[in-house]
A and B are shown apart, each in its own frame.
Chain A
Amino acid sequence: MLSLITFLPLIGALVILALPKDNKATIRLTAVGSALASLAVSLLAWARFDGAAGGWDTMQLVERVAWIPAFNVQYIVGVDGLSLPLVLLTTGLSVIALIASFGIENRLKEYFFWFLLLETGMLGVFVSLDMFLFYVFWEITLVPMYFLIGVWGGPKREYAAVKFFLYTLAGSVLMLLGILALYFSSEPRTFDMVELAKQSSAFVGTRFIWVFLALFVGFAVKVPAFPFHTWLPLAHVEAPTAVSVILAGVLLKMGTYGLLRVSYSILPEATRWFAPYLLFIAFVNIVYGAFCAMNQRDMKRMVAYSSVNHMGYCLLGMAAITGTNAAAGLSGAMVQMVTHGIITGSLFLLVGVIYDQAHTRNIDEFGGLGARLPIFAGIMTVQAMASLGLPGLAGFVGEFLCFLGGFGQKDMLLWVGLSVIGIVVTAAFFLKLIKDVFLGTFNSKWEGKLSEMKGRELLTVVPLVVLTIWIGVYPTSLLNKMAPSIEKLIEHVVGK
């Protein structure tokens, strides 16, 4: 079942490769069709998954085949409460992003091929339970993203694409060495993540601190955690709308997920050692990301920096692992991963809507759009409010829980307290965005040039708005599936 979810997009990609490039409608339908099929199967998996029985050592929907016996590599896929929500997030956002890509006319055969290949890579990362397999999928995501930014992106696309690729590859080769070091330390030697986690009591000492750091660099680049974040604003600004959605919505989560799945569960001792440092990094991400966002006049850049800030909340929640409120912190981190994907994804789509018509994203050039484009303004306001953490909307749940967890770190209260500044600044720049774009006087140069959101645009954004409100009002539907897995992970890492 999980293999089907993972490889359906790949099948779609291969079919597209075989289609003639002039047959644009068929290519689009094949792309969306395969992504929808994957979404359908993942919904089925969601229904079949027993949240109460989830946990790192009780993976569900497991498939296991020997793959490279010479290196003890197996093909193992399976999910617990940490990975399944992200699988669903990936399949869902992919369908939306693919629909949002219908406007692409240039070389669309290649576009959809790379896009679906990317989806397979991302799904593979979330379902694989073998380190080797995990690494293979991890790397598979790089090449399509490089092309998606580099061919279909903005003016500085080539530089952005290469920078993205180099940063991530530099991180991931160190990760590979970390993975190999784990392999050679295990007895019997294995790449099986669950098996490695069971042996985790043997992974103690300075050597494994180094292994942890090697892995951390790989994940931190993806998150992106300070100081490895500089590729992100560039990549986001240059990437086409749908790709930004996937980049912010899913790709960044590979970093935080990797930390939980690999670093936390396999190297608990090093994790406990690292938690205070992680909290400090989270603080920098939150505050620095927020101030950077505040200073932007380009809407997309602003949303991009707000991602640095929001992923900081996520790291804050994860750093709570050794504190007294670990469960709240980790739940917050997980919820934040999902809701950030939904909210930021929709914000990128909305910025894309206005950019497609105005060909600029400069906040100063707009004003008074609220009266002219009420639906657009309404939706954008809701999502911006969600992003700044207004109670009742999805963003609040994650942020609240992350901070609740963070305040359980009694030794680091100063940094957690200072992180609150980030929330205020986030509120400030989002409110300022709303004021400058939707209120005030209408810039007459757009007279008659801007029109209200059309059917396809609504089709992509509305489901995300509904989810934003749903999770905001009733987060238990999400938390129920995750909580037992989180409990088990905490018990494994801090032994309570």
Chain B
Amino acid sequence: MMSSVFLLLPELALTAGALALFLGDNGRGDQKKWAFSIAVFSLVVAGILALVSPNSSAFGVLTLDPLARFLKGVLSVSVLSVMGFCSGFSAFRSGEGGKPFSWGTFLGMMLLSTVGLFLLVSASDFLTILISIELVSLTSFVLTGYCREDKRASEAAIKYFLVGGFSTGFMVFGMSLLYGVTGSTQLSSFVGSTGASLPALPLAGALVFVLAGFGFKLAMAPFHLWAPDVYEGAPTPITAFLSVAPKMAAFGMLIRFFQGAEGSIILTVVALLSALTMTVGNLGALRQTNLKRLLAYSSIAQMGYVMMGLVAGGAAGGQSVLIYLAVYVVMNLGAFACVIAVTEDARSETMESFSGTAARSLPLALVTAVFLLSLTGLPPLAGFIGKFSLFSAALQVPGLVWLAVVGALNSVVSLVYYFSIVRHMFFGTPRQQSKPHLPAPVLAVVAAAGAFTLIVGVFPNLLVTVVRSVWP
């Protein structure tokens, strides 16, 4: 038992950091430096501890394996980037309605959310899955509505909360049915036994409820309707957080969930959901003029692609999911960094903020174009490698050619809205001539993400070998 506690060291480090931030917050808004030092320190320590953790199982409900380590590493980096976005964000800097902004509580919430994400990627028991999802959800509600004076943010938080609570109900009900069917809350009792040995009808019912719950949390179509509103209302750095970290962790969990489910009827359902999700996301994004709503729909569509890998299953399917997720996290954070820089500069979240960016700062316009092209899936960028591995995985399964075709055609649709941003940048006329100001942390994220997108695009082996060792 004691040794199991040591296995939780990364989570404990994050919790300790969060508690220190909560207790030390004086509510005066002058603690930015202090709060960031603690938050970044505990996040980095937790990330390193997670990366060096041994292969083991803690309390029988958490699995520590290469997959968990990989996902925790990527999660740490993405949370760190989001903290970077937060540090210079104007709505936070000035505080809300004249009241000082409590950095301590804010960053503490983010650390707690990270604890939930870390637990989720290791979870091997339905109870752990439930608890960690709830931890992530509750902290996300708070982060979304943290600027209380902002009506849009409050609306978003309430919507998020209601939908979140509702979907938890579904999930718990489904899990209780699963317990009834398998007699255990262990994921392993379910993994690989989706076939004949269990009673079919209750199992199918249970899975439908669990899937609906996950679907709500992940904003899969047709459970996605909350996402655009929440993404639009939340402060942009939090939108960035919501669009990468929880999705990464949840898909990490789903890889374990669907392990050994090849041939199960449930995969057909997921395949249909995948096609629906990417199509709905892409078609929805076409009409958006608000950048955050656009990115919300885009992330819905992107998750639809990833589900293709889940359906394909097997080693290739799991690997393609991981490759795509790693690439998606980086390019989406990069795109958000550019959006933050431009919207902060223009004090507007409409697409016209990007008008004439190329004339004002060619490097910024080019790197934004790189992220958007990568999201579209054009070579030689990282996003192409992601799509390439997803399509390969799907084509290896005989009955899934149609899904690959749907995915491929969807990429074409996505080009339209990603390139409407590019069009504004390169063909539009700038409203002002000065270069947009990029705060140092945002610039760092842009540079690092840009370099990653290009390097992995040209030398994909770097990423593919890592992923193959993680999920052989």
- A residues in contact (CB < 8 Å) with B: 21, 67-71, 107, 109-110, 135-136, 139-140, 142-143, 146-147, 150-151, 157-158, 162, 165-166, 169-170, 173-174, 176-177, 180-181, 183-184
Q: Does B447 contact A (CB under 8 A)?
A: no
B282 within 8 A of A: no
- CB-defined contacts of A158 to chain B, threshold 8 Å: 423, 427
B468, A70: Cβ atoms under 8 Å? yes
Q: List 18 A-B contacts (CB under 8 A).
A: A21-B362, A68-B461, A136-B379, A136-B384, A139-B379, A139-B384, A142-B378, A151-B427, A158-B423, A162-B416, A165-B415, A165-B419, A166-B412, A166-B416, A169-B412, A177-B408, A180-B388, A180-B391
Q: How many Å from the CB of A381 to the closest CB on chain B?
A: 38
Which of A71, A166, A176 sits near B464, CB closer than 8 Å?
Answer: A71
Residues of A within 8 A of B415 (CB): 165-166, 169
Complex CA gap A424/B427 in Å reads 42
Contact B408 A173 (CB under 8 A): yes
List B419-461 residues whose CB lies under 8 Å from chain A. Answer: 419, 423, 426-427, 459-461
Q: In the complex, which of the residues A21, A68, A170, A180 contacts B409, with contact meaning CB atoms closer than 8 Å? A: A170
In the bound assembly, the distance between CA atoms of A142 and B384 in angstroms comes to 14
Complex: how many Å from CA A16 to CA B211? 52
Which residues of B have CB within 8 Å of A107?
Answer: 358-359
The residues of A that contact B426 with a CB separation of less than 8 Å are: 110, 147, 150-151
A169 to B377, CA, bound (A): 11
CB distance from A385 to the nearest CB of B (A): 39
Residue of A nearest to B468 (CB): A70
B390 to chain A, nearest CB (A): 11
Task: Give the distance in Å from the alpha carbon of A157 to the alpha carbon of B391 in the complex.
Answer: 33
In the complex, chain A residues whose CB is within 8 Å of the CB of B358: 107, 110
Q: How large is the interface on B (under 10, 10 to 19, 20 to 34, 35 or more residues)?
A: 20 to 34
State how many angstroms separate the Cβ of A11 from the closest Cβ of chain B.
Answer: 15
Q: Which residues of B are in contact with A by a Cβ distance under 8 Å?
A: 358-359, 362, 369, 373, 378-380, 384, 388, 391-392, 395-396, 401, 404-405, 408-409, 411-412, 415-416, 419, 423, 426-427, 459-461, 464-465, 468
A18 to B369, CA, bound (A): 18
Flag if A68 contacts B460 (CB, 8 Å): yes
Given contacts A71-B464, A184-B396, 13 further A-B contacts (CB under 8 A): A67-B461, A71-B388, A136-B379, A139-B379, A150-B423, A150-B427, A151-B427, A162-B423, A166-B416, A173-B412, A176-B388, A177-B395, A177-B405
Name the 8 nearest CB pairs between A and B, nearest first: A173-B408, A70-B464, A136-B379, A170-B412, A139-B379, A68-B461, A180-B395, A169-B412
Smallest CB–CB gap between B462 and chain A, Å? 10
What's the minimum C-beta distance from A384 to chain B, rounded to whole angstroms?
A: 34
Q: Report yes or no: B460 in contact with A70, Cβ–Cβ below 8 A.
A: yes
Q: Which residues from A are CB-within-8-Å of B359?
A: 107
Report A-chain residues with C-beta under 8 Å of the C-beta of B408.
173-174, 176-177
Interface SS of A by simple majority:
helix
Residue of A nearest to B323 (CB): A70
A170 to B414, CA, bound (A): 11
> Assuming A71-B464, A166-B415, is B423 touching A143 (CB within 8 A)?
no
Docked Cα-Cα span, A165 to B412, in Å, equals 9
Residues of B within 8 A of A67 (CB): 461
Given contacts A158-B427, A162-B419, A169-B411, whether A70 and B461 have CB atoms under 8 Å apart is: yes
Q: A143-B373, A165-B415, A181-B395 are in contact. Are A136 and B409 (CB under 8 A)?
A: no
CB neighbours (8 Å) of B378 from chain A are 139, 142-143
In the docked arrangement, what's the CA distance between A151 and B373, Å? 18
Give chain B residues whose Cβ lies under 8 Å from the Cβ of A174. 405, 408
With a cutoff of 8 Å between Cβ atoms, the chain A residues found around residue B464 in the complex are: 68, 70-71
B373 contacts across to A, CB distance below 8 A: 143
A176 neighbours in B (Cβ, 8 Å): 388, 391, 408
Question: Which residues from chain A contact B405 at a C-beta distance below 8 Å?
Answer: 174, 177
Q: State A180–B391 Cα separation when bound (angstroms).
A: 8
* Bound-state Cα–Cα, A319 to B461, Å: 40
Taking CB atoms, residues of chain B closer than 8 Å to A157 are: 427
Bound together, the chains give a CA A184 to CA B393 distance in angstroms of 10
**Cβ–Cβ < 8 Å partners of A162 in chain B:** 416, 419, 423
